[in-house]
Amino acid sequence: MKIVKTSLLPFALTALLFACGNVGNKGQEAHNHHPDAEHVHNDAESQTTKKKSLSPRTAAMAMIGSNHVHIDYGSPSKRGRMIFGGLVGYGTVWATGAHKATTIRFDENGAINGENIPAGKYGLFTIPGESSWTIIISKDWDMHLADDYNEANDLVRVTSPVNKLDEVVESLTFEVQQMENNKGKIIIKWDQTSVSFDLENK
């Protein structure tokens, strides 16, 4: 019996060492190929490389009476620059935002400063001036900036006086405000300049 035990001992030790080696290799392999490892790495990389837009697309909307008014625009920031009479020139047609032209949509018929506007989606362009702006509602709305602007497609043009603000508005901002009954106001603010125009439901 002693001879049998002695002869089996080397085999038992060899089997034990082999089993431990396999467990170690499997653990290392699992560590190297963990299903979440690559996912976490890629998420971190995408967050690092993804850049925040300097002129994010945003919207302003409100009900004026029963008319839902929705404005979609790219909102650039001042970032220490001279805006009107500098970045945005006086006397030239402006898309009133960044990238794609600003759009305005009316769910019902209305009037801007007394000029009739049928329900629909339009381009909202402006011509900034030092003391007043021209507000333009155009039948063309799908364009980059004001590259394809055509005065022949204007639906309405109205003049709005410039109001000087006491504080700087860092990012271009539109506001749609309900005033009374079926009347409202659309306000454009940037830097220390504000202009507005009236909307009435028809």
Q: Tens digit of pLDDT for each residue in 157-180?
A: 999 999 999 999 999 999 999 998
Residue 3 pLDDT > 60: no
In the predicted model, what is the mean pLDDT of residues 16-23?
47
Residue 39 pLDDT > 70: no
Amino acid (one-letter) located at 62: A
Reading phi first (left if > 0) and then psi (alpha if -120 to 50, else beta), residue 13 is in alpha
In the predicted model, what is the mean pLDDT of residues 96-100?
94
Residue 130 pLDDT > 90: yes
- The confidence score (pLDDT) of residue 114 equals 84
Q: How far is the C-alpha of 146 from the C-alpha of 134, rounded, in Å?
A: 15
- The confidence score (pLDDT) of residue 70 equals 98
Q: Which of 36-40, 93-97, 195-199 has the lowest mean pLDDT?
A: 36-40
Beta carbons of 163 and 169 less than 8 angstroms apart = no
Residue whose structure tokens are 């106001």 = 185
Percent of the chain topping pLDDT 70: 74
Beta carbons of 114 and 135 less than 8 angstroms apart = no
Amino acid (one-letter) located at 101: A
**3-state class of 23 per DSSP?**
helix
Residue 60 pLDDT > 60: yes
Order the strands of the 57-64 sheet from edge to edge.
57-64, 67-74, 103-106, 120-127, 132-138, 154-161
User: Residue 182 has which token pair?
Assistant: 């079926």
- The confidence score (pLDDT) of residue 18 equals 46
Query: In terms of pLDDT, which residue wins out, 51 or 171?
Result: 171
User: Residue 2 has which token pair?
Assistant: 């002693």
- The confidence score (pLDDT) of residue 8 equals 47
For 116-130, b where at least 16 C-beta lie within 10 A, e where not — what string? ebeeeebbbbbbbbe
Beta carbons of 165 and 173 less than 8 angstroms apart = no
